[in-house]
Structure 1
Amino acid sequence: MSLGLLGVGALALALAALNGLHDASNAVSTTIATRTLSERAALRLAAGLNLLGALLGLGVAESGTRLALDGLRPALEPAGSGSTAVVLITAALLGGLAWGLFTWWRGTPSSTWHAVYGGLAGATLALGLRVPWTHEIGLVALSLLISPLLGGGLTYLLVLGLARVTTRTRVRNRHLRAAQTVSAGAVAAGHGMTDVLLPMSALVLAAEATDSAPLPWWAGPLLAVALALGTLAGGRRIIRTLVSRLTDLSTAQGLAAETSAAVMMLAASIGLGAPVSTSHTITAGIVGSGLAVGPRSVRWPVVGRILATWVATPVVAGGAAALAAAVLSVLPA
């Protein structure tokens, strides 16, 4: 196994752990906000189901990385194979990690997928290669625009529907809390299924580029464990943003936001063809649940800062990856 592949493996593990730490809020924030679960119980639930979902995700299709490979492989074609491809993958992972750490420190939800895609584009430019702009920007723009709109719109409708159900039937808050626990578990499992594919795909592509032997069987499960451990650590900075800074959530609103996110994850798992960010979907869902109550219940300055972060994600991560690629390209092989 080459040093380059070992380096990609270490970065893939770090990305999986950071993804869990960063995105633990996706599954548990609304259950904490509505006091359906304690923070400790919510994080344990999310970690366990993240692990289960990740192991299931690794079993999708023959390689277990179909969705991510379909998206990443065209972006690597200009680099061909060998050391240039490894530099490109390494730089993209470094760009994604740098942006993920920064947004975690700022307590802002953002997409690891978009950061890595932006990193690939930036690193490709730094190496003087042709960037497949149509493919690259199309995938990012599609999910950046559509998944939050669908997630927010579906949540809005669900909140209105739940309001009617709870006023006309004997559905009580305890019933909604039980349903919310189930929906949060579905989001956690869906997050594990989709997000473990990104670091796993980086490993597979690096192995292909270096003509290495097939990856050991334990590589995928190790990434799944890293993702779950990161989730168990809990991204409390981002949880606080989603729990208290966007809007005040009722149990019905939390259930609606989690359900819409679970639906979007299901759509991604059956092959939507573009990366769907759980961070974007759950954030948009929380905003949509606030809109269903009334526009004044949403704290729009916070929403504006989050939207600015989403737009900046591929750009800044691309810049960081370009810098990393420029440095790596002059180092001795």
Structure 2
Amino acid sequence: MLFEAAVHVTRDRVALQLWRNPDMSCVLERQLVRADGVTMTQILLAGDRDTLQEFIAADPYGEHLRPQYESLCRVHCEQLESQSGRPAARQRPCDPLDQIGRVRGCPNEAELMAIISGVLLPLGAQSYTYRWLHVDERTGAIDGQRCLIGCHPGWIHAYISHQWYRTDPVIEYARKNGALILAGDIESFGDDGRATEAAAQYGFRSAIVCPAHRPSGTLIGLLQAGNELPQPEGERVLWQDRSRALLRSLTEEILEWRIVAQREEEASRIDLDPRERIVLRLVRAGRTACNVADSLGLSERTVYDIFKKINRKLGVSHITRAAAMATDKGLIE
């Protein structure tokens, strides 16, 4: 990490982080945590000064964050200068299907975004966002979004600032459907159409919506790819048979990439030992403490002590809940 700062603006909290990847590229992460608990995280590949300045200029909290952004820009500038004289990485032409095959091996979001652009551009999409929507298990509401920005950042800033995500028909469609659809076929935004107009202004005059789901239902992948061509011409470009198949595959692979990354993060954070994993698998299979004790040659008291230790690690109060959580997070097979 090259830079980190957090600021409270009224009742909201904005955190900024600038990361350097192994290939020396920079990624900006901006996270907004609203007073109501909704979290909106934006990921920008900050490859040059203009891209970063464009993002900062569009930030509605820019004035509140001016000192932080000034410091961040200095660090970013130093990083760019340290790269001067280095030969630029040669971009090899690559078939979109081959690019999609590289998704699961991506070490970071910067490389993932490069792949997305490489797939979308030949398909006639100049702008995109990819969002991972987190679904609250208790309420079923979307309580967090993590967004890869492949468009003018003004769109994402406007989307969050006006809180269009609260009534976004694209999200509502993605929650209930898995089929690709043209954005023009989804009921338009409310708010007097301002969101639709803003989307068109920032590169989504024509767009296609690609949702992806997993059985657990706690994470939804949502790709929106667009161009500046008027409808229906722009939609025809995006709705080619081969394009739809590739977009579907890309969306699914990116969702799976995120799920695997989250599982690895959780596994390193929680650090269950081998015996605890065996206990969780037995509990998931319906075994009682007595059954577990017999299977492992332990006393029931020892098993209950193991239950308590597992519950503390996972932050739950009952071992059956711990087993369900461990399964959902991929901590046990």
Structure with larger Rg:
2
Identify the TM-score tier after normalising by the shorter chain: under 0.3
Higher relative contact order (CA 8 A, sep 6+): 1
More helix by share: 1
Name the TM-score, length of structure 2 as normaliser. Answer: 0.23
More strand by share: 2
Name the TM-score, length of structure 1 as normaliser. Answer: 0.23
